[in-house]
Amino acid sequence: MPLLTRRQLTLLIILTLVWGLNWPVMKLGVADISPLTFRMVSFWLGLPVLALVLLRQGAPFIIARAYWPRLLLLAATNMIAWHALMILAIPRLSSGRAAILGYTMPIFSAVLGSLFFGDRLAWRAWSGVAAAALGVLLLLWHEVGMLGASSLGVGLMLTSAACWALGTQLLRRTHLPVPLLTLTFWMFAITCTVLTALAIGFERQTWHWPGTPALLAVLYNGLLALGFAQTAWFFLARSLPPVASTLSVMLIPVIGVFSGALWLGELLRWQDWAAVGLMALAIASVLWPSPPTQR
């Protein structure tokens, strides 16, 4: 494990905890607030945090009109589809299962890169894909033969992860002459607008003043999970070695599973335990860097 500075290590630990604990927090929030509305309000709380970061960094807010078609495509795949479908899935799943399924994104990304973008996928990565597929089947153990709410939730979560994976591949291959923070701010702003339209169109009649737990969940999502954590991730993504970010990705769904069991009393069956191990193995096989080839 490469040596990390104290600042990097502190941010990595906080980021992993914030995103891991966010899964039961979101589950708690959507129990009292309609899901699209919950995500909309969280985004509007997080957007000013990103704007302040842009001002502090001196990054420009303007993106030339010629780059907007590519910006809209990146926002649709990386942000809109992921956040809208994911939050619609959470009421239909336990927070632990939602976390595991959501973090199939690296596996989807590896497969899409191999099939459509010319990336070479090593044998260990294909074995990781097989492990992830087995983990999904285990999570569907109690839903086989019945098309209930859980099955719909699994489909929504896997679709959102696949869209995020496609967006990740497009982001790697789309070159825009703008700072990453500027690009992220506008993707956030576009997502805010779309989520607002969806919430007004489909959930306006359900709006009410929520209870204290749901309000705290919104504040946690907007200020910590979106505002702080997203900004911290940009710093870490530029400065951390791949192995450190891999460990963070692997730990987030594990924290989501066990925090949901502890806080929300979610029952963990043997399929959930096995799925955690299989997903961690799958993510590690895709993201863990290969040893350098010796001449």
**118 assigned to some structural domain:** yes
- Residue 294 zone, left/alpha/beta (φ > 0; ψ -120 to 50; rest): beta
Q: What's the structural domain count of the chain?
A: 1
How far CA 134 is from CA of 100, 107, 271, 282, in Å, comes to 12, 13, 10, 10
In angstroms, the CA 266 to CA 150 distance is 14
Range of the domain at 281: 6-287
Tokens (6 digits) for 18: 């914030």
**% of the chain exceeding 70 in pLDDT:** 82
* Residue pLDDT, tens place only, 93-128: 888 888 888 877 877 877 888 788 777 766 766 777
**174 assigned to some structural domain:** yes
Question: Model pTM greater than 0.85?
Answer: no
**292 assigned to some structural domain:** no
Instruction: Tell me what pLDDT residue 237 has.
Output: 57
Mean pLDDT of the chain: 82
The backbone torsions φ and ψ at residue 261, rounded to the nearest 5 degrees and listed phi first, read -65, -35
* Residue pLDDT, tens place only, 169-200: 888 788 888 888 898 899 999 999 999 999 99
Instruction: Tell me what pLDDT residue 145 has.
Output: 47
Task: Please provide the distance, in angstroms rounded to a whole number, between the alpha carbons at the two ends of the chain.
Answer: 24
Residue 251: other Cβ atoms inside 10 A:
17
- 248: exposed, middle or buried (Cβ count in 10 Å: 0-12, 13-18, 19+): middle
Report the half-sphere exposure of 127 (CA within 13 A, side-chain side): 6
Instruction: Tell me what pLDDT residue 227 has.
Output: 86
In angstroms, the CA 218 to CA 38 distance is 7
**155 assigned to some structural domain:** yes
* Residue pLDDT, tens place only, 26-39: 999 999 999 999 99
In angstroms, the CA 243 to CA 239 distance is 12
* Residue pLDDT, tens place only, 282-295: 666 655 555 555 44
- 144: exposed, middle or buried (Cβ count in 10 Å: 0-12, 13-18, 19+): exposed
Element (H, E) at 262: helix 242-263
**116 assigned to some structural domain:** yes
**294 assigned to some structural domain:** no
